[in-house]
Amino acid sequence: MRRLRLTPRRVAVVLAATVGIGAGVAYAATLTVGSWHLWAGSQTLTKGTCTLTGTTQTSDTYVTQATPGGTNGSATTMLVRSNSGSVDWSFVSFNLSSCSLPTTGGADTATLTLFITTAPASNRTLSLTPVLTTWSPTTLTWTAAQSLTYGSSATTSFTTGTTNNVSRSATLTVDVDALIKNPSASFGWRINDTTGSGNATTTFATSENVNAGRRPQLVINYEK
C-alpha cells in the first residue's frame, strides 16, 4: 500500500476545502434568516342586536296602479295585490343610523317581520326586492315607482297564508349587510305579489299603525 505523504500543500488543500464547505452552509442559513418577513395578529369582533320599528326608524307606503298619481304615506295599512290593471305594491325601508354601526361592521342575520291584518282568500307568494334609488313615503306614487331602480332579482319571498292577524318573517341578511357597509344606499324593499294570476289582496300594518306590536320590524344581529 502506498503511503500518503503529508506535505504542507496537501494540508492547505484539506483545510481550504473544509473551510469552504462550512462557510457555504453558514452563508446559506444567514440568507434565509434575513430574507423573511413574518407577522401574526388578530381581531376580535363585537356582537349585538339592533331592533328597528316605528315611524322614526321606518318609512313605508303603498302605491296602486288604479290610482297612479295617489300617495298613501300616512296610511295605517298597506296593500299588496296582484290583479291586472290594479296592482298594488308596498314599500318599506329602515333608518339604520340608530344602530350606530360602523361601515366595517356587518349583519350576521337580519329578519323583517310584517303583520298581516287581512289575509288574502288564497295563499299568495310575496317577494321582497331591494330598491336601489331614493323614494319618500309622502310623495311616492305608482307612476313614480315605475322610475325607481330595483335589484335584478328578489332577495327572498314568503307566503301569506289565509289567516288574518298573523306575523310573517323574511330573511334579508345579505341586503342589510350591504346597507351597513353602504348606509347611503338604504332604500328598503318593494313587496309585490309574484304568485301569478289571480286577484288577491294582502293587507299589512304600517309604521303608523296604532298597535305598536303590529308595525314592521327589522331585527339585525350584527358584528362590528
The contact pattern for another protein, residues 4-43, with x = CB under 8 A and - = no contact, is xxx---xx--xx-xxx-xxx-xx--xx-xxxxxxxxxxxx
Q: In this complex, which beta carbon is closest to another protein, that of residue 54 or of residue 108?
A: 108
Shortest distance, position 33 Cβ to another protein, whole Å: 5
Q: Binding residue for another protein (CB under 8 A) from 67, 76, 83, 109? A: 109
Shortest distance, position 56 Cβ to another protein, whole Å: 27
The span from the CA of 218 to the CA of 224, in Å, is 18
186 φ, ψ (degrees, to nearest 5): -85, 90
Q: Which of 59, 62, 63 is nearest to 77 (CA)?
A: 62
Residues 6+ apart with CB under 8 A from 201: 79, 80, 81, 83, 88, 118, 120
Q: In this complex, which beta carbon is closest to another protein, that of residue 83 or of residue 157?
A: 157
- The reply on whether position 107 binds another protein by CB under 8 A is yes
155 within 8 A of 130, measured Cβ to Cβ: yes
Shortest distance, position 113 Cβ to another protein, whole Å: 16
How do 125-130 and 88-94 pair as beta strands?
unpaired
Residues 110, 155, 61: CA angle, nearest 5 degrees: 80
86 φ, ψ (degrees, to nearest 5): -145, 50
The contact pattern for another protein, residues 132-171, with x = CB under 8 A and - = no contact, is -----------------------xx--------------x
Q: Which CA distances in Å does 216 have to 58, 112, 198, 205?
A: 8, 7, 26, 7
Q: Which of residues 59-98 bind another protein (CB under 8 A)?
A: none
Shortest distance, position 127 Cβ to another protein, whole Å: 13
List interacting residues with another protein (CB under 8 A).
3-6, 10-11, 14-15, 17-19, 21-23, 25-26, 29-30, 32-45, 47, 104-109, 155-156, 171-175, 177-178, 181, 221, 223
